Structure 1
């Protein structure tokens, strides 16, 4: 534990991790630049449409940055204990509110707010990922007293987090977000060291191994026939089959993936030049959202990808560095939860657009167009910065 300075006048901003702060700013700025470029094709010469897209992302980025700074300043474990019920209620309300709005792509995952010149959409499931980390930290970490039964210990977080995931997966039909939420919950569940959790943690670990083996099996040539018999929607089966071989249906289910692979091949090491993507002017779905990485690599090449990779890597490594140093389980859950939130999105997005895993519709955080994902990622980083700041200040070990 780092000792407090005698002056007592140490200002909080100097206790934040500057590397995380800098990498976040670089990612958001890089994302704004690439969203502008990728949206040119979607705008189809409509300057007003392009300006509208870019302006929305700039506003969301500014709001996200302010929220990140505010959360980093005010978040404490005491406030978490006092307000966890409010956080849970708000999460339920907004997840259910999204069901009242029209579906997009088969999913009822967005709240639509009419605004002059268009509308603003909010995706509550992005913020529910943060709620999952906070629920786990509030109910399962740093427990000193034994509970009457094992079920009493895990009942509340299991019911709350399970409900969040089921609402998103079943009622909202947003399977990609539900998988990310479940993955975050499962991984950080392994962190608390309470003796009565050991049995459940062993079961969860085995489920993780089984899940990885299952995914590898499904995307292997052996698993293709098995996919046809799974109780999934046709578009979900098509995504799995396209990951195995997108060229089987290159003008149908595999069209998006094939175009993404062509963009990767065109980019090479240095790219064709910023703004010079050809693919974005074709009928390339989600060029500025889920598949923005294809445009990044086409225009800026492998070097453009490395900007993203290095910034993500820096944030994740710094979060793990502090998580391993501190004894506080709440702190470790929040830091590792944020790191896994970023890492899982990265793996799912990059794996999906390169055909290594089935497409999940998961955005590349702070790079893809989308206000909810950008703000949620920055808020999560703000919570982590608050934990780091107070650890460095000596508020806990």
Structure 2
């Protein structure tokens, strides 16, 4: 046991761990700062409501992190484990369709026994990484990945399309984009030939587009709601609808503009005092920009960028295709989700309600991202061991 612990201490990826820890703690501070008014007015009347809940989420997430860090990632290629995770994923997605709660226009939440809410689409993101990586790895044992054709991996594609169908009919379009980005990231890291990857990508776009068209045809009235059409109009011309659908975007711009270089000071935001709806979730970066200025924004972007870069470096260094695909999938997840959040906030893309990884308030997100970070550190330790052999 002592030898086992010494191995972990010597090979542990401390820069990656401390960056992850810093972002979580920084996010906790900013959740407290941004949610004071929301907690008093809309929650239990105390200024610490969301802070206390996120602190509990982080404690639970710490256990998930250490499970991911100490559970050998090689087991994710085990077919039985993947079948169990597949079963759990679809049970959760079916459950949310039957008894899910609608939040922010998407029926994507499950109330777990009255204790907490859980978002199955977040679990699906992690599952797609592990399932794709495990399925492709098992295929490569008999046939090198560079020789595989898209028709050799039909079953994983069908599973991905089924998950996209379930999540899409929840009308959680942000999650659909992230799940698509993750799938592309894992396949790109699989070792498949570039021409075949383009072919796979074309097949993916074709099936995905057909599926999205079917979803819109069947549930068009629920997807193309006034709220969502308002988001598209706001994206095209936000200042024309500043008292309506662009209200949140405009107040986000005001928050960012008010911060300037140094910010107005921690806790001194004006926009969080009822002007910016739900400032502790997908618009938390606007409060960071207002209170801490460009320096606060650089700190967050630097931390997220380091984790993404580190994940890709780990993927490039390892000789194990399973490790490479999982690391690339985790990096893709964080990169795509960060882009969608910050792109919506800055007006580069329409708003989707996606949270900022590690920073925004949310139990399901931090729990599963923490497990993913544990797995990434697990792989990083394996890469260091590879060098010594």
Could you tell me the TM-score, scaled by structure 1's length?
0.85
Residue aligning to 1:276: 268
Equivalences for 1:185-264 in 2 at 5 Å?
185-194=183-192, 200-205=196-201, 232-264=224-256
The structure 1 segments of at least 4 consecutive aligned residues displaced by more than 6 Å after TM superposition are 207-210
Residue aligning to 1:52: 49
Residue aligning to 2:58: 61
- 2:91, 2:9 → 1: CA distance? 33
Q: 1:43 aligns with which of 39, 42, 67?
A: 39
Moved more, 84-93 or 72-81: 72-81
Map Cα deviations across residues 349-370 of structure 1 (whole Å, 9 max, x no partner): 1110111111111100111110
* SS of 2:112 mapped into structure 1: strand
Conserved? CA contact 1:98–1:109, under 8 Å? yes
Structure 1: tracts of 5 or more residues without a match? 1-6, 211-230
1:125 and 2:117 correspond: no
Residue aligning to 1:160: 159
Conserved? CA contact 2:19–2:303, under 8 Å? yes
Equivalences for 1:342-357 in 2 at 5 Å?
342-357=334-349
Equivalences for 1:227-376 in 2 at 5 Å?
232-376=224-368
User: Is the alpha carbon distance of 1:202 and 1:40 closer, same or farther for their aligned partners in structure 2, counting shifts above 3 Å?
Assistant: same
Conserved? CA contact 1:390–1:396, under 8 Å? no
Residue aligning to 1:101: 100
Residue aligning to 1:70: 67
* SS of 1:108 mapped into structure 2: strand
User: Is the alpha carbon distance of 1:368 and 1:84 closer, same or farther for their aligned partners in structure 2, counting shifts above 3 Å?
Assistant: same
Q: 1:134 aligns with which of 121, 130, 133?
A: 130
User: Is the alpha carbon distance of 1:332 and 1:79 closer, same or farther for their aligned partners in structure 2, counting shifts above 3 Å?
Assistant: closer
In the TM superposition, residue 240 of structure 1 has moved relative to its aligned partner by 2.1
Map Cα deviations across residues 266-287 of structure 1 (whole Å, 9 max, x no partner): 0001110111111111242121
Moved more, 341-350 or 40-49: 40-49
- 1:240, 1:383 → 2: CA distance? 37
In the TM superposition, residue 373 of structure 1 has moved relative to its aligned partner by 0.9
In the TM superposition, residue 113 of structure 1 has moved relative to its aligned partner by 2.9
Conserved? CA contact 1:140–1:192, under 8 Å? yes
Conserved? CA contact 1:19–1:314, under 8 Å? no
Conserved? CA contact 1:19–1:315, under 8 Å? no
The number of aligned residues is 365
Residue aligning to 1:227: none
In the TM superposition, residue 20 of structure 1 has moved relative to its aligned partner by 0.8
In the TM superposition, residue 392 of structure 1 has moved relative to its aligned partner by 1.9
Conserved? CA contact 2:77–2:137, under 8 Å? no
In the TM superposition, residue 93 of structure 1 has moved relative to its aligned partner by 1.0
- 1:92, 1:51 → 2: CA distance? 35
Conserved? CA contact 2:251–2:275, under 8 Å? no
RMSD (Å), alpha carbons: 2.6
In the TM superposition, residue 150 of structure 1 has moved relative to its aligned partner by 4.0
1:32 and 2:31 correspond: no
More helix by share: 2
Residue aligning to 1:14: 10
Structure 2: tracts of 5 or more residues without a match? 207-222
